Structure 1
Amino acid sequence: MDKYLQAKYNVAAPRYTSYPTMPYWDTDHFSVARWEDSVKSSFFQTNEKDGISLYVHLPFCESLCTYCGCNTRITKNHNVEEPYINAVLKEWNMYRSLMDTAPVLRELHLGGGTPTFFSPANLQKLITGLLSWVNIHPDAEFSFEAHPGNTTAEHLQTLFDLGFRRLSLGIQDFDPAVQLIINRHQTLKQVRNVTYTARKIGYTSVNYDLIYGLPLQTTDSLVKTMHLVSELVPDRIAFYSYAHVPWIKPGQRKFTEADLPDAPTKVKLYDIGRSLLKNYGYVEVGMDHFALPDDQLVAAEKTGDLHRNFMGYTHQHTQLLIGLGVSAISDSWYAFAQNEKKLEDYINTIELGALPIFKGHLLTGEDIVIRKHILEIMCTGKTTWNYHNEPFEGLLKGIERLEPLAEDGLIDLCSWGLQVTNPGKRYLRNICMALDSRLWNDKPATQLFSMAI
């Protein structure tokens, strides 16, 4: 990779799990009442045809992984499980009261935190409660995240019996030195046992999360990790860039920038990992994701049906995503809403009988258009626009900002759209950032996002 491009584009850039990105949400014009109206509207428009998605945030972990950027609560007290489940089910009941008919559930994902912190019995209580007044779509997919160190055969069987077929294991790196400094411990034997047990039970998809750019990570250690992973043949692999944001996540101050690979080394880690995954037979999908050739994500990208939401990439598209639990984010397409980020505030608001929403954003017409283009770039590597149907100044200025990226060979740009080139795949965040009208209209005085490289 050209060192000039590395230096030029190694800037702080959003990951674009949403547009507008959260720091640019216009909270002044948002209200819970308006959010509820957007949920009703989106549900009425799409439930019967497409169904809805549910994300449940289960925040508890027994120990802090110092690299982690998620909202977590560290505790070894498992008495917190049942009260939390009761609160989530109460929140779901509030959403169901906004719906004039039973929701058609298309996707259900349990994230964290560590969902397998919860006992199998309590997970069964949670899922049974969520499914008590829904119609399950014929193509529904249920998935959950798990820690290889505490996921038991009983966890796997219980969730399988409830309809789960997809499992995602957080591995990050097998190197002992890296595991020690990030306080994330799991052995190859544990990962192998969970993977093989899941497949024996009947799970059809196992994903591994891997991260490059971690403290003390070297090219040799990454190659060894990739080799071990390849022997287990997961169906999907998420190969993420470590996001160093210690001003947001103080746990990352357990190590310093001196422990991190520098930018050229981090690029080398990515290139090596990406090359190895392709050699092992995986196909690159979107940004940071790889899958076996017969995977549904690969087929969806080829047909243009790949979609991306707060839960990641999916081959299915629902307009309404409801996030339950502390800090969970919901998306009606017309608006975003985030729940209270502090556990106690979340529980207290639920007990008062109100949706525990902390902040949100109502999308403008320009927001929706720019969001569509960013989503298409992230999912298909291309997008098209129409000046007559999309006469927004923010989009026009964004297209002008794309010209230097075209000159650098990252995109093929024409009057009606763009196509990301092969070298440009490494810079998807930068390409999308050129279209980010809100960021360019209000450039941050301090760093808000992790570095692109």
Structure 2
Amino acid sequence: MRPDYLTTKYNVAVPRYTSYPTMPYWDTASFDTDQWTKSVKLAFKESNDKEGISLYIHLPFCENLCTYCGCNTRITKNHRVEEPYIAAVLKEWQQYRNIFEDRPVIREIHLGGGTPTFFSANNLHKLINGLLEGVHIHEHAEFSFEAHPANTTVDHLQVLFDLGFRRLSLGIQDFDPKVQFIINRHQTFDQVQTVTLQARRIGYTSVNYDLIYGLPLQTLDGLINTMKIVSGLRPDRIAFYSYAHVPWLKPGQRRFTEDDLPDPEMKGRLHEIGRSLLTTYGYQEIGMDHFALPGDVLLEAEQSGNLHRNFMGYTQQHTQLMIGLGVSSISDSWYGFAQNVKTVEEYLALTSAGELPVMKGHLLSEEDLILRRHILDIMCKGHTLWRSTEGHLEALFDGLIRLQELENDGLIELSTEGVQVKPDGKRFLRNICLCLDARLWADKPTTQLFSMAI
């Protein structure tokens, strides 16, 4: 079957499956903070000594609005917001420390945003020092942060390196000046090269570049040139994402219209050519949207079957408990999810009052937990295996019926043991997982909730 036919057929609105159930299908009505804290306490007791916990810290501030961005941000040039926000994050962390009732073992820290490098190096030092005070750091701990090439200084790099950070992710998206202008995301080749070389000289072991296909005014020639530039800088990893056009959620995307976007056929070509070029340059595909050079630990994790995925993305670090700190952050205890309030003002007020700033959440049912495991295995391992104890689950039988069409199209192989993703199916992981999404099929959306698959 022709690849272009499959791209057209499966280019539908579908979740990215950083969680199951996906957020629009959380049962928020039956969620309460007491149940959430009980699930956190249980997850901590079960996993802290064995594997440690992960921390995600959302730093929402940016000086300028990137109009493609779907993240929760606060646009300001007032840097006096830094210290009150850091104080609030540390108060929230102390509330979780009180729930743990024991010293946490930190396995993973990731600073996301927003623009973490909006904060001064000194204030980032204050934040990380506060988070690490009185904790154990796991012997295999990995700390990473996201950065804007235009405002990341040597001080940022050195201070975070001294605190244990070894991974850096630079948001680039595209080097085409026309694309940079319309998405209001400006950085030069010299800025990207300088930060990359400085990080390597200091001792960072991994540099990732974020690239996006399907952006407004993006062309094949422009993408090819971006890939050529990137290949010369040789980042250890590349995340090659689809642009998610959701102007009903992110009004900033109304700076341009659908007429400025590549049509579905062109977007499919951008995707295929980008993947092909990355392979030509020596990168190997990992899970969905990620590529790495041979020897990278993320690639080794996939090859050994140890790849993991959570709200921070793909990681080789498996922890049952992930605590999200900061405005709009999401936490995961495996048994439940909780999202913080979405405005800085609410977040500051709740933490100041000594309350967990949780806005909504979901506690997983037995069915949720079973389907979650299968979806996670497909996203991370490219296969999943049935268990004899799951034979009673009607949702799996329904999912198998839906999966048969993908098997007919040569994307997966079904057996009595489970599901195996074929090479042609790797770019359709979201569609494969969709077949097992019992909550979505039970209540199909009448409006578009998710971005397109391609």
> Runs of at least 4 residues of structure 1 off by over 4 A?
none
**1:268-317 CA distances to partner (integer Å, 9 max, x unpaired)?**
11111111111111110000000011000111111100001111111110
**Aligned residue in 2 for 1:111:** 112
**Aligned residue in 1 for 2:359:** 358
Deviation at 1:64, TM superposition (A): 0.3
**Aligned residue in 2 for 1:31:** 32
Q: Is the 8 A contact 1:26 1:361 kept in 2?
A: yes
Aligned-partner SS, 1:181: helix
**1:361-420 CA distances to partner (integer Å, 9 max, x unpaired)?**
000011011011111111111111125435211122111110111111111111221111
Deviation at 1:6, TM superposition (A): 2.4
**1:94-130 CA distances to partner (integer Å, 9 max, x unpaired)?**
0000112100000000000000000001000000000
Give unpaired runs (5+ residues) of structure 2: none
Deviation at 1:162, TM superposition (A): 0.5
Aligned-partner SS, 1:402: helix
Equivalences for residues 144-223 of structure 1 within 5 A? 144-223=145-224
Once residues 193 and 119 of structure 1 are traced to their aligned partners in structure 2, the CA distance between those partners, rounded to angstroms, is 19
Deviation at 1:243, TM superposition (A): 0.6
Deviation at 1:9, TM superposition (A): 1.1
**Aligned residue in 2 for 1:249:** 250
CA RMSD of aligned residues (A): 0.8
Deviation at 1:4, TM superposition (A): 2.8
Q: Is the 8 A contact 1:26 1:362 kept in 2?
A: yes
2:414 partner letter: L
**1:123-142 CA distances to partner (integer Å, 9 max, x unpaired)?**
00000000002100000000
Once residues 403 and 78 of structure 2 are traced to their aligned partners in structure 1, the CA distance between those partners, rounded to angstroms, is 51
**1:154-205 CA distances to partner (integer Å, 9 max, x unpaired)?**
0000000011000000000000000000000000000000000000000000
Aligned-partner SS, 2:140: strand
Once residues 143 and 391 of structure 1 are traced to their aligned partners in structure 2, the CA distance between those partners, rounded to angstroms, is 42
**1:344-372 CA distances to partner (integer Å, 9 max, x unpaired)?**
11111111110000000000011011011
**Aligned residue in 1 for 2:273:** 272
**Aligned residue in 1 for 2:329:** 328
Aligned-partner SS, 1:97: helix
Equivalent pairs, count: 453
Q: Structure 1 residue 282 and structure 2 residue 283: aligned? A: yes
TM-score (norm 1): 0.99
1:109 partner letter: H
Q: Structure 1 residue 234 and structure 2 residue 229: aligned? A: no
1:328 partner letter: S
2:200 partner letter: R
Q: Structure 1 residue 125 and structure 2 residue 122: aligned? A: no
Once residues 242 and 32 of structure 1 are traced to their aligned partners in structure 2, the CA distance between those partners, rounded to angstroms, is 34
Once residues 368 and 397 of structure 2 are traced to their aligned partners in structure 1, the CA distance between those partners, rounded to angstroms, is 13
Q: Is the 8 A contact 1:369 1:390 kept in 2?
A: no
Aligned-partner SS, 1:231: helix
2:74 partner letter: R
Q: Is the 8 A contact 1:50 1:318 kept in 2?
A: yes
Equivalences for residues 33-112 of structure 1 within 5 A? 33-112=34-113
**Aligned residue in 1 for 2:18:** 17
Equivalences for residues 431-442 of structure 1 within 5 A? 431-442=432-443
Q: Is the 8 A contact 1:104 1:134 kept in 2?
A: yes
Once residues 242 and 78 of structure 1 are traced to their aligned partners in structure 2, the CA distance between those partners, rounded to angstroms, is 30
